[in-house]
Chains A and B, each alone.
Chain A
Amino acid sequence: GDSVTQTEGLVTLTEGLPVMLNCTYQSTYSPFLFWYVQHLNEAPKLLLKSFTDNKRPEHQGFHATLHKSSSSFHLQKSSAQLSDSALYYCALRGSNNRIFFGDGTQLVVKP
């Protein structure tokens, strides 16, 4: 069946260091992946989504590449900022076009 796995529940790092949040998936269809970000006391918002034309989606310095060979869509950023501290969800559009989410990764960026 369809599933999304985020292995890290909490990632803590120092401002200026690179960020990588893991996301792997299983999909019975051609995969369409998303990253959503949720800041404290706010609603989740789309950060970026995969494309089918080999473009690498980027937004606010974050990027992710869909690798079908490894079933991954890891989120990366070259230099973390304090304002990046938030909860990050990887999501998959699965069968019936329902969209379901991984367990989320809490990113804490320290000065």
Chain B
Amino acid sequence: NAGVIQTPRHKVTGKGQEATLWCEPISGHSAVFWYRQTIVQGLEFLTYFRNQAPIDDSGMPKERFSAQMPNQSHSTLKIQSTQPQDSAVYLCASSLTGNTLYFGEGSRLIVV
């Protein structure tokens, strides 16, 4: 039984470029969460979807971050005009009931 799959695992991008991160949730899970992890801020909530519908994006920086879930098998997090402060590990998690989260390995983004 495959867990949550995130790609790419590592991405280096130049300042001002766009970065897109992908997440494939566990089959059958109806909720998908995105978090950003840094040493300073810990695990920050970004956004989440239930049954593909956006439910809460209160943690998303509004201007450059966007997330979508076009179908039940994948979600994307897009960061436009990346800045050095966007460097972090971006974690995707899925959940069957909305309680227990199953995390992917994360996508490490480095903006140079």
Contacts and interface: CB of A to CB of B under 8 A. Distances in A.
> Are both chains from one complex?
yes
Interface of A: 32, 34, 36, 42-46, 49, 89, 93, 96-104
Given A32-B99, A43-B91, A44-B91, A101 B43 contact: yes
A93 B98 contact: yes
B22 interface: no
Contact of B43 (A32, A46, A97, A104): A104
Contacts of B35: 101
Given A46-B101, A102-B42, A104-B42, A96 B55 contact: yes
A32 B43 CA distance: 18
Contact of A98 (B42, B56, B91): B56
Give the size range of B's interface with the partner.
20 to 34
A84 B104 CA distance: 21
A100 B35 CA distance: 9
Most central of A34, A100, A103, A104 by chain B CB within 10 Å: A100
Given A32-B99, A93-B98, A96-B55, A43 B43 contact: no
Contacts of A99: 33, 45, 98-99, 101
A99 B44 CA distance: 10
Interface in B6-39: 31, 33, 35
Contact of A97 (B42, B91, B98): B98
A83 B92 CA distance: 25
A102 B106 CA distance: 19
A93 B100 CA distance: 10
B42 A49 contact: no
B45 A101 contact: yes
Nearest to B101: A99
A18 B50 CA distance: 40
Contact of B103 (A34, A45, A103): A45
